[in-house]
Amino acid sequence: MTTPPERWLLDTNVWIFGLRRDDEFPACAHLLDRMRDFYRLVNQYPEFIGLSWEPAPTELVEFYEQRGCRKGDAVIAAHAEASGTRTIVSENRQFLQTIKDLPVELVTAEEAQSRLAEFLP
């Protein structure tokens, strides 16, 4: 049995806290370290990585804004939906809290790091 590919979207705060090695959010730095190891492995199999600089579809951004999301949150939610992302990693506790039945799972950097540990012992 194979595990289907899963897309993750990292909120900007995870990158900032991780790259700065912020003492209040150590899991962000640990997650980026683990991801570095993960990407070394994945680079051997580029068919599993997707990178896009396309803007989020305007109609999806407006959809999330009309449901109470702040502009930045609406853009992230729209990107996630458009790309089929099922997991967003964020340290922002209020992130997308106004949306009920969001088709995306929100996890912290610590939770994401635990998931990566399953693939990278």
What CATH number has the domain spanning 8-119?
3.40.50
Task: Going residue by residue through the chain, which has 121 residues, state the pLDDT in tens, using 9 for 90 and above.
Answer: 344 556 777 888 888 999 899 999 999 998 888 777 766 766 776 666 666 678 899 999 999 899 888 888 888 889 888 888 888 888 887 777 777 777 788 888 888 878 877 766 5
Which string of DSSP letters, residue by residue, matches 44-93? T-GGG-----PPPPHHHHHHHHHTT--HHHHHHHHHHHHHT--EEE-S-T
**Domain spans in the chain, listed from the N-terminal domain onward:** 8-119
Contacts of 10 (CB under 8 A, 6+ apart): 88, 89, 90
Side-chain-facing half-sphere of 14: CA atoms under 13 Å: 25
Spatial distance between the Cα atoms of 52 and 81, rounded to a whole number of angstroms: 14
